[in-house]
Structure 1
Amino acid sequence: MDSAPTPARPWRTALLAGMASFLDSSALVTAGIVVGTLYAEDMGLSDGQIGLVLGLQTMAFAVGALFGGRLGDRFGRRRVFTWSMVVYAVGAALFAVAGGPTPLIIGAVVIGLAIGADLPVSLAMINEQAPEGKKATLVVFSSVLWNIGIAVTMLLSAALSGLGATGGRVLFGYLVVVALIVLGLRLTMRESAEWQAARRAVEVGEAVRFRDLAQLVRPPLLMGLLATGLYYAMWNVGANTMGQFGSFLYVNVGGGDVATYSLVSTIGLGVGLAAGFVFMRFVDTAARPHMFAAGSAIIVLAWIFPLVAGFNEFSLLATLLLSGLGSSFAGETLYKVWSQELFPTLLRGTAQGSTIAFGRVAASLVGFGTPALASASPALTFTGLALLAAFAGAIGLLWIPRLPGARQLAAAGR
Structure 2
Amino acid sequence: MSTLDQKAINRHGWRVAFASGLASYVDAGAIAGTGTALVILQGSLGLTPAQVGQLSALLTIMIAAGALVGGRLGDRFGRRRVFLVTLSVFVVAALALMLAPSVALLYIGLAVLGLAAGADLPVSMAMIAESAPEDKRGKMVTFTHVLWMAGILGVIIISIFFGNAGILGAQIIYGHLAAVALIAVALRWGIPESRLWKESQNSPADDERVDLRSLRALFSPKLFAPLAATGLFYALVNIAANTNGQFSTYLFVNVAGVDVATASMLGLGILLLSVAGLFVMMRIVDGSRRHRTFVLAAVLALVGLAVPLVFGVTAVTLVVMGVFGALGGAVAGEPMYKIWSQELFPTSHRSTAQGITIAFARLVAAGAALVTPLIIAAGPALLFLFLIITSGAAYLIGIFWIFRMRTFLKDDGAMVTAATAPQNVAG
TM-score, normalised with respect to structure 2:
0.87
Question: Which is further off, 68-77 or 396-405?
Answer: 396-405
- Cα distance, 1:382–1:158 mapped onto 2, change above 3 Å: closer
Residue 167 to residue 234, structure 1, CA distance change in 2 (3 Å): closer
Please tell me whether the aligned partners of residues 49 and 101 of structure 1 are also in contact (alpha carbons under 8 angstroms): no
Residue 248 of structure 1: how far off its partner (Å): 4.3
- After superposition, where does 1:245-256 map in structure 2 within 5 Å? 245-250=247-252, 255-256=256-257
Aligned residues of 1:14 and 1:142 also touching (Cα < 8 A): yes
Q: After the TM superposition, which residues 185-204 of structure 1 pair with which residues of structure 2 at under 5 Å, given as runs?
A: 185-201=187-203
Consecutive unaligned residues of structure 2, counting only runs of 5 or more, are 1-7, 418-427
2:221 aligns with one of 215, 219, 222: 219
**What CA deviation, in whole Å up to 9, does each residue of 1:59-78 have, x standing for no partner?**
11110001100110111111
**Which amino acid counterpart does residue 20 of structure 1 have in structure 2?**
A
CA distance in 2, matches of 1:358, 1:346: 20
After superposition, give the CA deviation of every residue in 1:87-113 in whole Å (9 maximum; x if it has no partner). 011111111221533333221111111
Which of 14, 17, 27 is the equivalent residue of 1:14?
Answer: 17
C-alpha change, 1:238 and 1:176, in structure 2 (3 Å) is closer
CA distance in 2, matches of 1:296, 1:409: 30
- In structure 2, which of residues 30, 51, 60 is the aligned counterpart of residue 27 of structure 1? 30
1:93 is matched with: 95
Deviations 1:97-139 (A, max 9, x none): 2153333322111111110000111011111100011111000
Q: Which amino acid aligns with 1:315?
A: T
Distance 1:100 1:305, change over 3 A: closer
Counterpart for residue 334 of structure 1: 336
RMSD between aligned alpha carbons? 2.5
Residue aligning to 2:296: 294
Structure 1 residues 11-160: aligned runs within 5 Å: 11-37=14-40, 39-160=41-162
Number of equivalent positions: 403
Return the offset for 1:20.
0.3
Q: Secondary structure at the match of 1:286?
A: coil
- 1:94–1:106 contact (8 Å) kept in structure 2: no
1:274 aligns with 2:279: no
Question: More displaced, 207-216 or 265-274?
Answer: 207-216
Please tell me whether residue 316 in structure 1 is matched to residue 318 in structure 2: yes
Which of 401, 404, 410 aligns to 1:402? It is 404
1:257 equivalent in structure 2: 258
Contact 1:210–1:344 (Cα < 8 Å) also in 2: no
Contact 2:95–2:174 (CA<8 Å) still a contact in 1?
A: yes
Give 1:324 deviation, angstroms. Answer: 1.4
- More off after superposition, 90-99 vs 79-88: 90-99
Change over 3 Å in CA distance of 1:96–1:310 after alignment to 2:
closer
Greater shift, 174-183 or 367-376, is seen at: 367-376
Cα distance in structure 2, aligned partners of 1:295 and 1:397: 12
Distance in 1 between residues matched to 2:358 and 2:245, nearest whole Å: 17
The one-letter code matched in structure 2 to 1:90 is V
What CA distance in whole angstroms lies between the structure 2 residues aligned with 1:21 and 1:289?
25
1:7–1:129: 8 Å Cα contact kept in structure 2?
Answer: no
Which deviates further from its counterpart, 299-308 or 267-276?
A: 299-308
Instruction: Normalising by structure 1, report the TM-score.
Output: 0.89
Q: Structure 2: how far apart are the matches of 1:32 and 1:245?
A: 6
Taking a change above 3 Å as real, the CA distance of residues 375 and 224 of structure 1, as seen in their structure-2 partners, is same
- Shift in Å, 1:245: 2.9
Distance 2:328 2:10 in 1: 33
Question: Aligned in 2, Cα 1:243/1:31: closer, same or farther, shift over 3 Å?
Answer: closer
2:383 maps to which of 377, 381, 384: 381
Query: SS of the counterpart of 1:257?
Result: coil
State the AA in 2 paired with 1:14: A
Seen in structure 2, the aligned counterparts of structure 1 residues 349 and 244 have a Cα distance that, compared at 3 Å, is: same
Superposed displacement of residue 8, structure 1 = 5.3
1:284 equivalent among 278, 286, 305 = 286
Q: Distance in 2 between matches of 1:181 and 1:250?
A: 32
Q: Is the 8 A contact 2:35 2:250 kept in 1?
A: no
Alpha-carbon separation, structure 1, partners of 2:131 and 2:20: 10
Q: Report if aligned partners of 1:209, 1:410 keep a CA contact under 8 Å in 2.
A: no
Q: Note the residue ranges of structure 1 that are not aligned, 5 or more in a row.
A: none
Instruction: Report what 2:171 is aligned to.
Output: 169
